[in-house]
Each structure stands twice: as structure tokens, then as C-alpha cells.
Structure 1
Amino acid sequence: MAEAIQARAAPRPVGRYPHARRAGGLLFLSGIGPRDPGTDSVPGNVLDADGRVVAHDIVAQTHAVFANVRAVLEASGARWEDLVDVTVYLTDMAGDFAVYNAVWSEYFPDPATAPCRTTLGIEALPTPIAIELKCVAAPKE
């Protein structure tokens, strides 16, 4: 069985699965969102009186999801630079893609060293978040 990893510095998974699993020379991260690890709140969400999300800040959520991915990588003995493939799920592709893409460029300024990336527009995620990342890393031995 491949090694399962739980990261104390990342938000708890919303189901019965590990934050990451090492298999061979690769590290597979489960879907990681922008929830705050300490409070479980979602940065940038604006809620109405009934607690429904009426607006979100994709910049805040993107920075938060990247911090959570970094926490899982570090708990796994990997580094940000070890990312080789990222699948991005956005709930508002039309409104958020360009802004998300600009934040991505801050973290990965050189396309030659950035991980491969696929971005999908989806209707919803399991919690009230606007972005989730599914990552694969190849840590150096």
C-alpha cells in the first residue's frame, strides 16, 4: 500500500481520504481547497443573512489554496518546485479565469519551470469554495 499523508497545517479533508499519497516516485495530492486550516472559513467569501455565498474573492481564495497545497507538500517532504501537474477546478470560469491566471503567474513566472496545468469550469465543489486544485509532485529523492 502506498504511504498516506495527513498534513496538520492544511484544512481537514471533507471526507475519509488522505491529503496525499506517495506511490513510487510520485506524490498525489487529493483535491485541496482554500479553507483556512484553523477556522475552516473560506477567505474572500461574502455571505448573506442566511449564510449563502453571494460573492467571492478569487484572488484571496487562490492565494489560500496555494498556501494549503504548499502545506501538504511540505508535510510530505516535497517542495513547491516539485509540482509537475496541476488540475484546477473553478466554479466561475468566465469571471475568475483571467484573475486566477494572473495569480498563477506570480507563483510560476517562468512557463519553462511551471507544472503542467489543466483548468476546468465546474458547477460546484463540495464546500462553498470557488477553486480547488488536484496536484501531482515528483519530489527529489
Structure 2
Amino acid sequence: MASDATSAAHNSARAPEPVGLYPHARRAGNLLFLSGVGPRQRGQQQVPGVELSDDGSIRSYDFESQCHAVFQNVRYILEEAGARWEDLVDVTVFLTNMQADFPTYNRLYAEYFQTNQPCRTTVEVNCLPTPIAIELKCIAVVAG
């Protein structure tokens, strides 16, 4: 792939630092592909609303606060890469507890995507790389 501006990697100064060797997003032509985005906050290891046991396992979590945080992180990455929330065309959502969290997720998703309704896939996974209950993988169309 060429290394010009239309296929460049983007990292946000406001979204949480990646937990591995990958950019927050990569643009290919007029498409912007976001790496998996979780609810952590930049500069912090603590996840919003998560209480850990002494052994590092999740004791409890506030799923709603994680949803708000992950949507904000997606917005940060989009904006810093030259896109807008309304430019999202596809969202894949990973939940660690579909049965318990899907109703809350679905309600909040409907609030955030009232006017723009990208395609959506939601799957349950056994766990995610950090003690989080939700992660989003997104694709947006970028003008010009």
C-alpha cells in the first residue's frame, strides 16, 4: 500500500493509548478503518466504572459508563483523522456479556445513532485484552 496521505495511519492525542503495536486508525482511499476501541481514558489504566479484585479479576462494572466512554473515544479518533460521527458506515461491537448488557447497549446506541444509522454487528466474546466489557471496531467514509 502506498504511504501517501490517503493510506496514512492516524493516532489520536485524546483517545486511550493502544494496548499493542497498531494505530488508532488507518485511512485507505476514502475509507477510515478504526482499530478496536475500548472505554479506557487516555493516560489511565483504570477503566471507567470497573472495580477489580485483588487478583485483577473484574469484581463489578458499570456498563453504561463504559458505553459512553467508548463512544467518546471513537468520536475522538474520527475527529482527529478528519472524519465525523456521521461518517460512520459500519460498526462491529464486541460485548463480554450479551445477556446482561445488550439491552443497555442497544438503548444507548439508539441515542447516539439517531440520525446516522451505520450497519451494525454485535457479538459476544469470552474476554477482551483489558478488563473491559465493550469494544467497537468501526469504518467511516471520509470526504476528499
CA distance in 1, matches of 2:25, 2:56: 31
Gap regions ≥5 residues in structure 1: none
User: Is structure 2 residue 112 aligned with structure 1 residue 86?
Assistant: no
Cα RMSD (Å): 1.1
With structure 2 as the length reference, what TM-score do the two structures score?
0.92
Which 4+ runs in 1 deviate beyond 6 A? none
With structure 1 as the length reference, what TM-score do the two structures score?
0.94
Given residue 121 of structure 1, which amino acid in structure 2 is its aligned partner? E
Residue 35 of structure 1 deviates from its aligned partner by: 0.3
Residue pair 2:49, 2:62 contacting (<8 A) in 1 also? yes
CA distance in 2, matches of 1:136, 1:13: 18
User: Is structure 2 residue 74 aligned with structure 1 residue 64?
Assistant: no
The residue number in structure 2 matching 1:26 is: 31
Residue 60 of structure 1 deviates from its aligned partner by: 0.3
The residue number in structure 1 matching 2:143 is: 140
Equivalent residue in structure 1 for 2:134, among 127, 131, 134? 131
Residue 101 of structure 1 deviates from its aligned partner by: 0.5
Percent identity reads: 58
The residue number in structure 2 matching 1:96 is: 101
The residue number in structure 2 matching 1:7 is: 12
Residue 52 of structure 1 deviates from its aligned partner by: 2.2
Q: When the two structures are aligned, how many residues end up with a matched partner?
A: 139
Residue 37 of structure 1 deviates from its aligned partner by: 1.0
Residue 89 of structure 1 deviates from its aligned partner by: 0.1
Question: SS at 2:23's partner residue?
Answer: coil
Question: SS at 1:118's partner residue?
Answer: strand
